[in-house]
Each structure stands twice: as C-alpha cells, then as structure tokens.
Structure 1
Amino acid sequence: MSSENAAIPGDLRTKIISEPEVILEDRDLMRALIAANEKIMGGNIVDLRGIAMERLESRLERLEETHRHVIAAAYENLAGTNMIHRAVLKMLDPTGFDDFLKNLTTEISDILRLDALRLVLESPVANEDPAARGLGDTLLVVDPGFVEAYLTQGRNVPVRQVTLRQVQPESDTIYGERSDWIRSEACLRLDFGKGRLPGMLVLGAEDPHQFKPTQGTDLLTFFAGVFERAMRRWLA
C-alpha cells in the first residue's frame, strides 16, 4: 500500500517507520494498539502475548516505584549525614564548657532542627544541692539511676544507646514547660568512661514523626559517640 492510499498521512507514516521505538516507548499508545488488536481478533481468542505484556508492564511499574523509593531514601540519608557532620564540627568549636553548653542549644540545635535539647548528668550529690538540678536551660543534674529509669520507663528491657520514641508522660522533668508541646524525642545514652556515672542527651521535637522507633539510628549513634568524647574533656 502506498503512503498516498494509507489512512495515516505520509509524513507521519514515514516518521513511524524510521523511528518505531517512539511508539514502543509510549505506554498509552501501546495500550491503544493492543486494545485495537484484541478488538479485531474477537472475544473468543486469547492473546497470550498481550497478557504477558500486561504482566511485564505491571512488574515494570513496581520496579520503577521501588527505584523511586530507593532514590528518595538515599537522598534523605545523604542529607542526614551532612546534617550530623555539620553538627559534629560545630560541637568541636567551643574552647570552654559554658560556650559548649550554649552552643548545644543554639547552633547545634538549629542544625539538627530541634525544638528542645537537654544534657542530663547523673551525680551522687544532686540531692544535696537542689540548685544543681537546673543549671540553665541546657544542663540537668539528676540522681544516679535516673537515665536508665527514663529510658526503660520501668520496663524490663535492655538499655540502648539510642532510643527514638514519642514523648512519654514523665517527660516534664526533662523539658519543663516545653513538655506540653514536645511530641517526639531521641534519647542518646552517654558513657563517659570507667568509674563515671552515665549521662544522656535528649533531643526533642514538636513534630511527632521526627523521631520514630522504625528509623535507623546509625547517624545518631555516631553523634553520641563524638559527644561522649567531647564531654570527657570537660569531665577530666
């Protein structure tokens, strides 16, 4: 059949013949062609190739969706890594303990997008000096055993270095007036070395989904490790 007698205009027909992959890559067009072919064959004929193509297309869509999720997770992980690295560098800047504490609730808190940050230190003399319980908005001195009790909430569970969860009812000891609007937290248990009581760094967020038990903890574990080493300088 000549291009002049064809139902398709000559220039379009020539374009399709020269570049057939254009049609093959167009899903909507391929569906229309398959549907037209099935209509011509009639309802009594089963087109196995068409069925196979539909299944392959379904698999391809699932693979593409998985690919998008993997890419999104990779970008999110990269962004989180960069955030932690920036916070670590800022943590190493101060040359005095007062500046170190101030830096926690200003620059580091901003970098990590936190709404509250509290450093908790256990001390055997916390009861003897009530004034020591609240040293500013950053440091809280508590009795020995407080960290484990806060992390486990009275349950017989192992104490992990990083605990991610929604805020507990007992959190007013940590956040004070802010406990009314802090909705999720990351609790980093701190080991300051042999012979020293443990501590805890608590990161609070108004967003209830910022810290969830299903999230990975590798980056926060690294951050806690660096923080422990930085604190040992001031506890020495």
Structure 2
Amino acid sequence: MYKLFKPTKKISSKLKKALIENPHWILNDFEILDQLITSEKNKTNGNIVDLRDIFLKKTKSKLEDLSKLHTHTISAAYENFLGASNLHRCIIKILEQKNLEKLIDILTTDIIKILQCSVIILLFSGKEKVVLNNPYFINIKNEEIKKIMRSAKLTKKKLTRLKSNSTELYTKKILNESSPKIYSEAMLSLCTYSEDYNSILILGSSSKNFFNEKNKTDYLDILAKVISIQLRNHISALK
C-alpha cells in the first residue's frame, strides 16, 4: 500500500520575489542558514557528508564576529561559496590566526599556495615601526606608500589593481635577483578599517595573464577586506 503525502506548501510569489531580491536576509541570519542545512540533510542519506555544513560549523562563530564589522563581505562570500572555494579556504585560514606574526606567516605560506601566486609582500607604514621576523613584511615611509597608492589609484572604494605590464611592476623594485621572476601583480589596499596606518598587499605571479587588467577583482576585493579586518585587530593588540 502506498502512503499519500500532502504536497509541500509553496511560498507566495511575492515572498519569493522579495527573497530573491534580498538574499542577505538569509545569508546574514545564521539561524536560518542552520535550519536550511539541517532540512537538506534530513532529505539525504545520513552517510553523505555535506561540505557546506562542515564549513558553516567550523567558521560560524568567527564569521559572526566578522559580520559585525562588515556584513557585506560575508554575504558576498556565501553567495559565491560553490564557485569560490579557494576564497573561502583563505578566509578560514586568515580568521584562525591569533596574532600579527601568524597572520603574515599564513599569508606567505598557505595563502600563497592556495592562490597559486609566486610571491606575497605586505607593505606597512604606521605611526610606529612594526618589527616582524618575516622578510615579506616590509616597513616603508608613509610618503612612499601613499605615492604607491596614488599611482595604483587605490582608494577605499577601489581596493584592487591588477597589472601585467612587466616594466611597471612594483615587485621588481623590491625583490632581489634570487626571487621568482614576476610578470603580473595584484595590489590590494588594506586600509579599509583604519586611519592609523597605510598598508598594501602585493600578490605576484610568474604568469603574465594571471593578474591581467581585464580580469574581475570581486574575490580579491573580498579578500582585501577580510585581511584588513584582521590586520587592524592585530595592530591594535600591539598597542
């Protein structure tokens, strides 16, 4: 004998339209996200591992803290989850770091591998010099870093600049001859959340087309904001 089930009640077209136009209503509400994932899991075999569930549980508290500072960053990250796994791997690792030295270390080891870059350099100019045992964290004069930002046209609205003209790459000015050959670079402004310092993250690639000017910068913009938050937190902790 077959059991008959009542069909699931569909949401109204008006509500559906509102949700489609405002996905952040769900993306910024962790209770709703939890319920959605739980409901989806109940429909599947218990042996199936839902990677979304693992990701949410592992980073939930950290993302909640981060969302208080910049909810748009988190919304964009969740919206692009399936197509931007590398971005999320970077976010998780960046949020896990407990101090500035560990943050710089993870950028120049794990993050560089995830992003498939040849080199990562962080330029910093603050009221006081910050000394770290990492050759890729470089203190420079405030006038110089402002000059670099003006040249790259980096602002609080334009966080990323890509360049593939090998004669104009800043990395060539600061890397020694034994360093990897760089043919394209991305500059990320890390000044989004602080007026106390200026900082730029430079990603260099041995491929000329890797950071081509025609490429979109959406994911790098999100990455810049996440690093900016962590950088501000760790710099503040040094005071």
**TM-score, normalization: structure 2?**
0.56
Pick aligned residue for 2:99 from 93, 96, 101: 96
**Aligned match of 1:144:** 142
Aligned to 1:183: 183
Q: Distance in 2 between matches of 1:96 and 1:125?
A: 17
Q: Kindly tell me the number of residue pairs found equivalent between the two proteins.
A: 153
Paired amino acid for 1:141: N
The Cα RMSD (Å) is 2.8
Q: Are the structure 2 counterparts of residues 88 and 158 from structure 1 closer, same or farther at C-alpha, using a change threshold of 3 Å?
A: closer
Shift, 1:172, TM fit:
3.3
Residue 158 of structure 1 and its aligned partner are, at CA, apart by: 6.3
More RCO (CA 8 Å, sep 6+): 2
- 1:229 maps onto 2:221 in alignment: no
| Corresponding letter in the other structure for 2:92 | L
Q: Is the 8 A contact 2:123 2:199 kept in 1?
A: yes
Secondary structure of 1:188 counterpart: strand
**Using the alignment, how far apart are the partners of 2:81 and 2:205 within structure 1?**
21
For each residue in 1:105-130, what CA deviation from the matched residue of structure 2 results, as whole angstroms up to 9, or x when unmatched? 1111100001000111013566xx9x
Q: Deviations over 1:204-234 (max 9, x none)?
A: 0000100011111111100000000011111
Runs of 4+ in 1 over 4 A off after TM superposition: 77-80
Give the partner amino acid of 1:150.
I
Question: What residue ranges of structure 2 are gaps of 5+ in the alignment?
Answer: 1-79
Q: For residues 126 and 100 of structure 2, what CA distance do their matches in structure 1 show? A: 17
CA contact (8 A) 1:162 1:186 kept: yes
C-alpha distance 78-98 of structure 1, shift in aligned 2 (>3 A): closer
Aligned to 2:88: 85
In structure 2, what is the equivalent of residue 9 of structure 1? none
The aligned runs of 1:1-236 (5 Å cut-off) are 81-124=84-127, 136-153=134-151, 159=155, 160-166=158-164, 167=166, 168=168, 170-177=170-177, 181-191=181-191, 193-236=193-236
Residue ranges of structure 1 left out of the alignment (5+ in a row) = 1-76
CA distance in 1, matches of 2:154, 2:89: 31
Larger radius of gyration: 1
Q: Is the 8 A contact 2:120 2:201 kept in 1?
A: yes
Q: C-alpha separation between the residues in 2 aligned to 1:125 and 1:116? A: 26
